[in-house]
Amino acid sequence: MKKNIAVIRGDGIGPEIVNQALLVLDKIADKFGHEFTYTDVDMGGCAIDKFGDPLPQSELDKCTASDSVLLGAVGGPKWNDVPGPMRPEKGLLRLRAGMGVYSNNRPAKIWPQLADASPLKPEIVEKGIDFIIVRELIGGIYFGKHETIEKDGQKVAIDELTYSEEEIRRIGRIGFETAQKRGKRLCSVEKSNVLDSSRLWKKVMHELAAEYPDVQLSDMLVDNCAMQIVKDPSQFDVVVTENMFGDILSDEASMITGSIGMIPSSSLGATSCGLYEPIHGSAPDIAGRDIANPIGTILSAAMMLRFSFNMAAEADCIENAVSRVLDAGYRTGDIFSPGCKKVGCTEMGKLILEQL
């Protein structure tokens, strides 16, 4: 298969970690007979330096013309004083909006080799943590009308929460399709005991369920879900939820797995062209020292293969290689524990390549 990937290295550790992910993709292409070509895109601080704009239209166009986008991270102290609309992070928001990616998918997976890093009790971690939160990204209360008015002599703040059936249906489909590619269990999370938007959410999810008979759908109230994630996360396969609930639950879910450097993410819209990036930032404190953990980015590349290119065997191959390197005791500084062998970014990439 031929695929063109837009590559945004970005700032800070971005170039170091993305370079390792590209070496992994090249090896996968060789092994499985694919052809991956790369289009370099400047976004963030480096684009401000080059163009005076964190994401010029020409760079965004390269992304929307690609089969998918791989991103390192953007931002850093050098651009802290840049005015609001020209900040590096604005490039990221413009990219998400320009690509129309309405679904953010973040896996919460504990690597057994790193179980000690989880703040949960060992007996909970031992049952396994391996689920994905599918979060609606461009609707709901964050995108409603926000206003503060004067009423009866005091200020009253109003944030509007709306969801249309179509907005729910399109994120619901991503939830069901993600579940189809995993353990075929989907948990729809809402607050239907209080909110109209949640009652509509639940109704639409159940209508959709008829189209996906191979997926087992369950419902859970968001407050219960927040408790279940720390009480027994092994019960979840795929969670689908609205924007604000997903924002909070996905941060909770990534915390229980231990290390920020290990976690990938994907954002998808109506087409298979997705945005894939680690959840961490540009880590300016360790940039340029070849000590960053490239695994979150390498696993983001694996997600791209699985969810945008339908290359499940190739994605498995990468994930298994990462697991074997961890089994052998190699760790970057962020996941290091006594008795392990400390390696840098390039060395970690090389070890994963050897296992592919």
Least distance (Å) from ligand NAD to the CB of residue 117? Answer: 13
Of the listed pieces 25-33, 114-122, 276-284, 301-309, which binds ligand NAD according to CB under 6 A? 276-284
Q: Does the annotation count 191 as an active-site position?
A: yes
Q: What's the distance, CA 51 to chain centroid?
A: 28
Tell me if residue 159 is catalytic.
Answer: no
Q: Tell me which of 140, 258, 281, 349 binds ligand NAD, using CB under 6 A.
A: 281
- Does residue number 347 form part of the binding site for ligand NAD (CB under 6 A)? no
Q: Which of 191, 237, 276, 334 is catalytic?
A: 191
**Contact assessment for residue 273 and residue 308, using Cβ atoms and an 8 Å cutoff:** yes
For 4, 21, 106, 181, 238, the CA distances from 311, given in Å and listed in that order, are 15, 16, 18, 11, 19
Q: Given the complex with ligand NAD, which of 56 and 284 has the nearer CB atom?
A: 284
CA 53 to chain centre: 25
Query: Strand 2-10 vs strand 68-73: parallel, antiparallel, or unpaired?
Result: parallel
Q: Work out whether 283 is an interface residue with ligand NAD (CB under 6 A).
A: yes
Out of 296, 299, 311, 318, the only residue in the binding site for ligand NAD (CB under 6 A) is 296
> What's the full length of the chain, in residues?
356
**Which of 30, 251, 285, 327 is flagged as catalytic?**
251
Judged by beta carbon, residue 92 or residue 321, the one nearer ligand NAD is: 92
Is 251 a residue of the active site?
A: yes
Are 10 and 43 a contacting pair, CB within 8 Å?
Answer: yes
> Tokens 């002599």 identify what position?
153
Give the residue, chosen from 89, 130, 290, 319, that forms a contact with ligand NAD under the rule CB under 6 A: 89
C-alpha 36, offset from chain centre: 22
Determine, following the binding rule CB under 6 A, whether residue 284 of this chain makes contact with ligand NAD: yes
Q: Of the two residues 177 and 347, which places its CB atom closer to ligand NAD in the complex?
A: 347
Q: Which of 22, 286, 299, 311 binds ligand NAD (CB under 6 A)?
A: 286
Nearest to 104 by CA among 230, 244, 234: 244
Angle between helices 345-355 and 295-303 in degrees, nearest 10 = 40
Beta bridge partners of 104: 135, 267
Options 35, 165, 207, 285; binder of ligand NAD; rule CB under 6 A: 285
Q: Write down the least CB distance from residue 95 to ligand NAD, Å.
A: 10
Q: Closest separation between CB of residue 173 and ligand NAD, Å?
A: 25
Position 46 contacts ligand NAD (CB under 6 A): no
Q: How far apart are the first and last CA of the chain?
A: 19
Q: Report yes or no: 264 and 278 within 8 Å, Cβ to Cβ.
A: yes
Residue of 136, 141, 135 whose CA lies nearest to 167: 136
Could you tell me the sign of the dihedral formed by the alpha carbons of 40, 42, 43, 46, in that order? positive
Query: What gap in Å lies between CA 187 and CA 252, rounded to an integer?
Result: 16
Minimum CB separation from ligand NAD for residue 77, in Å?
7
According to DSSP, residue 286 is labeled G
Q: Check residue 327 for interaction with ligand NAD (CB under 6 A).
A: no
Whichever of 114 and 260 has its CB closer to ligand NAD, that residue is 260
Tell me, by CB under 6 A, how many residues bind ligand NAD: 22
> Nearest distance from residue 262's CB to ligand NAD, in Å?
8
- Examine residue 99 and tell whether it contacts ligand NAD (CB under 6 A): no
In the chain, DSSP finds a helix count (H) and a strand count (E) of 12, 14
- Give 132 or 292: the residue with its C-beta nearer to ligand NAD: 292
Q: Which amino acid is it at 196?
A: D
Q: Which residues pair with 131 in a beta bridge?
A: 108
Residue 293 CB, shortest distance to ligand NAD, in Å, is: 3
Identify residues 233-262 at the interface with ligand NAD (CB under 6 A).
260-261
Strand, helix or coil at 235? helix
Residues labelled catalytic = 142, 191, 223, 247, 251
Residues that bind ligand NAD (CB under 6 A): 13, 17, 73-76, 89, 92, 260-261, 277, 280-286, 292-293, 296, 334
